[in-house]
Copies of this chain bind each other. A is one copy, B any other.
Amino acid sequence: MISPLHKAFIKNIHLFNELADNQLGQVYDHARICNLSKEQPLFAQGENVEKFYMVYSGLVKLFRVSADGQEKVIEIVTPGQTFGEALMFLDHAEYPVSATALNEAEVIAFDSRQFVKMLDGSSETCLLLLGAMSQRIRGLVQEIDNLSVQNGRHRLSSYLLDLAGDRSCFKLPVPKAVLASRLSIQPETFSRIIKQLKTASAINIDGSNVEIVDRDQLEEYAMI
């Protein structure tokens, strides 16, 4: 059973917004809390899809492991974000990625089959879900663009600006090697690009504490 706190959290997520109370009740009934310790896997690439997930607290990494064992982080999922929901509409789908907690994390699991069945009546929520998936597609296209026409410095600069939001100081949420993998660069290269940005006094960094010194310049790097 999930707590009122979790229910309130779920209800506030955009995706669940248009659900009627009885539908929401059904969702709650089929939802389960997963308490994950650091490095604990949630599911692995290739497993059959039965659930989709929302992060309640902590961070979860989605990653792929290549034949030669190296892993590539596809996304770092933060609280309030869902993942795996795109797969519930495919028959006999397998997870295309693995999911593991980056630190102690609480994740809410939803039953895919039940959710699809429930959607059958609710075209408003279908449309919301379609909207959510559209945005994800747009993000993925952007990512492909980043990977194919942009270089490592560009990707790192953009990512830092993204993490910063409107703050000028912030903390890297995960080890640098994880960010490096997310950006498809090696840790060594990550370190060298950081050094470049520091030398150019676009940023300042001490451990995981980042200060954006010259935002204009960083945005310059993030472009072209």
Contacts and interface: CB of A to CB of B under 8 A. Distances in A.
A144 B145 CA distance: 10
Contacts of A136: 137
Contact of A133 (B86, B124, B144, B149): B86
Contact of A137 (B72, B86, B150, B223): B86
Nearest to A224: B67
Nearest to A65: B149
A126 B130 contact: yes
Interface residues of A, number: 46
B141 A97 contact: yes
Contact of A74 (B64, B129, B135, B144): B144
A126 to B, nearest CB: 4
A12 interface: no
A137 B137 contact: yes
A200 interface: no
Interface in A52-89: 64, 66-68, 70, 72, 74, 86-89
A123 interface: yes
Interface stretch (A21-29, A99-107, A113-121): A113-121
Contacts of A123: 119-123, 126
Contacts of A131: 89-90
Given A144-B144, A144-B147, A145-B64, A89 B130 contact: yes
A64 B149 CA distance: 9
Interface of A: 64, 66-68, 70, 72, 74, 86-90, 93, 96-97, 116, 119-124, 126-127, 129-131, 133-138, 140-145, 147-150, 184, 223-224
17 contacts: A64-B145, A72-B148, A86-B133, A86-B134, A86-B138, A87-B134, A87-B138, A89-B131, A96-B138, A96-B141, A120-B123, A120-B124, A123-B126, A137-B137, A140-B140, A143-B144, A148-B184
The 3 closest A-B pairs by CB, nearest first: A126-B126, A148-B184, A140-B140
